Amino acid sequence: MAGEFDVLVIGGGPGGYVAALRAAQLGLRTALVEREHLGGICLNWGCIPTKSLLHAADTLRRIRGADALGIAVAEPSVDFVRVMDRSRAVAQRLNRGVAHLLRKAGVAVLEGHAAFEADRAVRVRLADGNEERLQARHTIIATGARAKTLAQLPFDGERVWSYRDALCARELPRSLIVVGAGAIGMEFAASTPRSEPGSRSSRPSRGCCPAVTPKCRSSSARPSPATVSNCAPARACEEQKSIRQACG
Ligand SMILES: Cc1cc2nc3c(=O)[nH]c(=O)nc-3n(C[C@H](O)[C@H](O)[C@H](O)COP(=O)(O)OP(=O)(O)OC[C@H]3O[C@@H](n4cnc5c(N)ncnc54)[C@H](O)[C@@H]3O)c2cc1C
């Protein structure tokens, strides 16, 4: 596909794919390079899959509160794997939707990692190992944000989770500490379905809590992961091509 474009967009998240669609609609020859998943963090690992989890948690809360309305229901049971699978499936569906929109608009999509070689020249290391060179009159850099690793709480994918680890979990932890009380932290705290009596999730803490790690380490019980939202790209899932594989 080596070639000249009017607009080259690097990054297929909401910032990038919408810009590419608009440029193509305006008649500009447009290419978009995405190294992981079209739809970016929002569709694949952020806004969308977390809403699916929130919806499940909210449904559980409503069922449990039904008695107060005079509706008798048996204690519901939660199939956590199915809850998580649905969240991934919703993300995957929207990811395919973005691919369809871009195709329909005539945007040339390349799967790979883009890097500047010169002012207007970009080299793309494609997912299949090959390379492409692209020239564009205008380049839009929409590569998103990176999550921050906290020195006291490095991610290990087991006890200390990034948002991606949390979205790939196959087992509901018995207790959970959410570090960070922004919108994302609040959502994770609210979306943990409490399936067993005695399981807990904390209110999000304001900052990093270094005491958590030593305490967990000294515990003989199964370690409790702390979800650290908005942190560095997780090692797990990072290199994987499809969302299914990523969570497999
Ligand atoms: C858990 C979570 C929940 C969230 N919930 C919400 C919410 O409810 N509402 C809301 O508004 N926002 C939410 N956000 C924030 C939202 O996800 C981001 O604001 C949004 O994704 C930013 O879009 P973007 O296009 O700038 O970047 P991104 O979505 O990060 O996309 C950037 C893309 O660029 C690609 N890329 C990076 N470098 C290269 C390269 N060199 N070559 C090729 N491709 C590259 C990446 O793979 C990525 O797909 C949430 C975030 C998280 C983590």
- Treating both helix axes as pointing N-terminal to C-terminal, what angle do 80-105 and 14-25 enclose, rounded to 10 degrees? 30
Paired with 133 in beta bridges are: 123
Q: What is the reported pLDDT for 107?
A: 98
Mean pLDDT of 164-186: 90
pTM, full prediction: 0.81
What's the average model confidence in pLDDT over 174-194? 86
Q: Which pair of structure tokens corresponds to residue 128?
A: 């299949």
Query: Residue 7: what are its φ and ψ, rounded to 5°?
Result: -130, 130
How many angstroms does the Cα of residue 145 sit away from the middle of ligand 1? 7
Q: How far apart are CA 119 and CA 141, in angstroms?
A: 13
Lowest mean pLDDT among 32-36, 45-49, 126-130, 208-212: 208-212
DSSP state of 224: P
State whether residue 96 is helix, strand or coil: helix
CA of 62 from ligand 1 middle (Å) equals 31
Q: pLDDT (tens digit, 9 = 90+) per residue, 203-236?
A: 555 433 322 323 333 333 333 444 443 333 333 3
Distance from residue 12's CA to the centre of ligand 1 (Å): 9
Lowest-confidence segment of 14-28, 127-141, 175-189, 214-228 by average pLDDT: 214-228
Atom from ligand 1 closest to the CA of residue 147: 53
Angle formed by the axes of helices 47-65 and 183-190, to 10°? 40
pLDDT interval class at 119 (50, 70, 90): confident
The pLDDT > 70 percentage for the chain reads 77
The residue whose CB lies within 8 Å of the most ligand 1 atoms, and thus the one to mutate among 47, 179, 238, is 47
